[in-house]
Amino acid sequence: MRLTIVGGGGFRVPLVYGALLTDHAEGRVTEVVLHDPDDRRLRAVSRVLAEQAAGVPDAPRVSATTDLDEALRGADFVFSAIRVGGLQGRADDERVALAEGVLGQETVGAGGIAYGLRTVPVAVDIARRVARLAPDAWVINFTNPAGLVTEAMSRHLGDRVIGICDSPVGLGRRIARVLGADPGRAFVDYVGLNHLGWVRGLRVAGRDELPRLLADPALLGSFEEGRLFGADWLRSLGAVPNEYLHYYYFNRETVRAYQEAGQTRGAFLRDQQARFYERAGDPGGSALRAWDRTRAEREATYMSENRESAGAGEREADDLSGGYEKVALALMRAIARDERATLILNVRNRSTLSVLDADAVVEVPCLVDASGAHPLAADPLPGHATGLVCAVKAVDREVLAAAESGSRASAVAAFALHPLVDSVTVARRLLEGYTAVHPGLAYLR
């Protein structure tokens, strides 16, 4: 079984490889092909993987190439985890928006739109190449904004592309833990779009345990999202939102906290990763140790401004590892070995949510087997969620239209229609600001 990782020089690749190393069963991945346009990053990551594989007799073979077509040919699975514009691009996405007084963040609001506008054309190119060179491969999309990018790729790959994110699983796991339930046996009734979803039930042996959580202030104060949103607001919603909803429900506070931070998240990661790739290239040192230290620091500081502005304190030890690689491995196993699993994934809606059309990519629990990921029937969205989900999907559609046609008017509409951008004038200035700094937006005319 061959797995190709597009974005193979990326920092999270060792997480995926580490998960593969734990899999010794029949049908496991035996060969990993890394693709990245940057040869130096490929070499650094390959060194980390080689150290991880030391002493593991059945470790998957690793090769690396800067030729995308060569990487895709013969792939059974393709992971796509690219960052168009690099971390400097992420830092610019944040800075331009914050200077206009609106949220600058990797996936949410103006920053997410700018990132989407840059990324969709590149993701579509990858999808087209997969369709041509590896038509039977399954594509697992990690690239953010994951829902939007998966939808763009699905127009070329249909249901062979599946988007993943670790935050719904992490949330479900935390809720199960505080309720004393086994996360492996609980069904998490999660619904929405990527980074815009809500847990509105947690069923254990057919019984919904979430009301017990919502009724108990002590339990609500004992986990990350409970502290982030506060017990009263969670009770008003009757659901527990994904942590990314913090940017919506506490927008002023998060924008201010981000504006006042010494460095944005993207700028911090840009500098941190530059140091890592530098060190990993040093033949005298351990690339794996350098990677692990960098990873630990990254995880500990994840969403720290949000937690600070909400007085939510430090992350808990159990929450530090997102489990991103575990979702990917579980999905691959279910497909490759026809082992039925229920996973929260980004897939085409079909008739799951009646307020969206069939091709809209949504994030919902799916039944996965060798025939792919099939969304399970779900109750209608709660009233408070309907407006947000429809508004953000309309924004996604403007981004897709802009990426396809190169229309600036569609790009302005994407910014202007977003619930976290409060003026059409600001939307126009955002597009000007972004096109001035991002060469990847030159296609917009």
Cα of 317 vs its chain's centroid, Å:
21
| Piece of the chain touching ligand G6P by CB under 6 A; list 30-38, 160-168, 219-227, 233-241 | 160-168
The partner in contact with residue 265, picked from ligand G6P, Mn ion, none with C-beta cut-offs of 5 to 8 angstroms by kind, is ligand G6P
Of residues 166 and 398, the one with the C-beta less far from Mn ion:
166
Pick the closest to residue 190 from 388, 363, 367 (CA basis).
Answer: 363
> CA-based angle 202:204:206, to the nearest 5?
100
Q: Smallest gap, in angstroms, from Cβ of residue 106 to Mn ion?
A: 9
Query: Which of the stretches 122-130, 159-167, 206-214, 437-445 binds ligand G6P when contact is defined by CB under 6 A?
Result: 159-167
Span 250-269, contacts to ligand G6P by CB under 6 A: 265, 269
Give whichever of 82 and 165 is closer to ligand G6P, judged by the CB atom: 165
Minimum separation from the CB atom of position 265 to ligand G6P (A): 5
Instruction: Find, among 51, 76, 38, 69, the residue nearest to 333 by Cα.
Output: 76
Stretch that binds ligand G6P, among 163-171, 232-240, 365-373, 421-429 (CB under 6 A): 163-171
Cα 42 to the chain's mean position, in Å?
22
Select the span of 43-51, 69-77, 162-170, 204-212 touching ligand G6P (CB under 6 A): 162-170
Nearer to ligand G6P, 15 or 366 (CB): 15
Partner that binds at residue 382, options Mn ion, ligand G6P, none, CB closer than 5 to 8 Å by kind? none
CB 312 within 8 A of CB 228: yes
The least CB distance from residue 402 to ligand G6P, in Å, is: 22
Q: φ, ψ for residue 2 (rounded to 5)?
A: -110, 130
Of 165 and 210, the one with the shorter C-beta distance to Mn ion is 165
Six-digit token string for 423: 């003026």
Nearer to ligand G6P, 60 or 109 (CB): 109
Shortest spacing between CB 118 and Mn ion, in angstroms: 17
CB of 389 to ligand G6P, least distance (A): 18
Q: Which of residues 26-65 bind ligand G6P (CB under 6 A)?
A: none
Stretch that binds ligand G6P, among 76-84, 165-173, 214-222, 387-395 (CB under 6 A): 165-173
Interacting residues toward Mn ion by CB under 5 A: 165
Under the binding rule (CB under 6 A), the answer on residue 167 touching ligand G6P is yes
Residue 87 or 388 with smaller CB distance to ligand G6P: 87
Indicate the residue among 209 and 396 with the shorter CB distance to ligand G6P.
396
Residues that bind ligand G6P (CB under 6 A): 144, 165-167, 265, 269, 298, 302, 322, 324
